[in-house]
Structure 1
């Protein structure tokens, strides 16, 4: 019986638009997200690099774009957060221990909070027992350390915990640690359909 749910953030609650981000970066001259840029993003998402360092690291791959232009293009990947998902989460919080575990960065989180507004994001955060962003804890999924961080700090039993993420390599890693998992297919499935899809049965509430 599931008593705890760990959620990813992007493409589970917050819609993302990778295509818009790629187009915006391409307009600045950056057409190929290569291995060096991937490493740069990983450093940002694990707190080993700050915002300015990240933006300056991207700058040489652009046509002399400003840091503000790069930040704006990077944030084009952040789309909307439908209210009905927050309302679903608020109901869920009455019956389960909820946690958020997200690979993200301070640039995107600042953008989300600005767009959502203090009332909305406060209501969202309050649904969770704790929120863990990769840039704050220093670990990114699918690394086992990211999951163990929650297990060790909150007495979580993986076999009684559902992990929800849109990336299969993340749910595969969680499953290997004993978690129940739902690899949500963004664009085809919605987190609010959890009971209809029998990911968790209503009887478990």
Structure 2
């Protein structure tokens, strides 16, 4: 009996040690990532840059599989005063502090891309137009059906329309829902959950992957 009690105590101690080690490691990684972000933000970002991540939403995996991309969420970087934020379509459309946005993604990983010749093209006047174009979407609900309308809106649609309406630039190729890989069980389950048995296969869609792969963009940073 004594040996059994000792064994249980030892195992419990080891489990607690592993748990606390993981928590300390997680906090250390978060602090290190924050420092790298702050260093990067200090002089490398420009308004209008586009940031990508793998979100923790329950639809993220389905988006990754359907688009064959690691990235399932995105937004536009804007600066308010001395603080950087990500204008994004979540629930609802809003500006989120950059550090908060990064921490929300999978393992704090992100990629930032920029329009080629951005300094020449994204003038203060153009950026002002882009911000005005995005204002009409502020507070709108997230579009879980990925419809091409302005009533509700999803992340890549928000970025695409802001660039199109504010700068006259189309980032990424519009596709039909039928163009994506809908074969996996995860994707089919999510589609059935959203649409039932009738899929809007001809609905126009712009995916994070399409914008990420746009030849009009270049990568300027990641972590």
Q: TM-score range by the shorter chain?
A: under 0.3
Greater relative contact order: 1 or 2 (C-alpha under 8 angstroms, separation 6 or more)? Answer: 1
Larger Rg: 2
Q: TM-score, normalised by structure 2?
A: 0.24
Structure with the larger strand share: 2
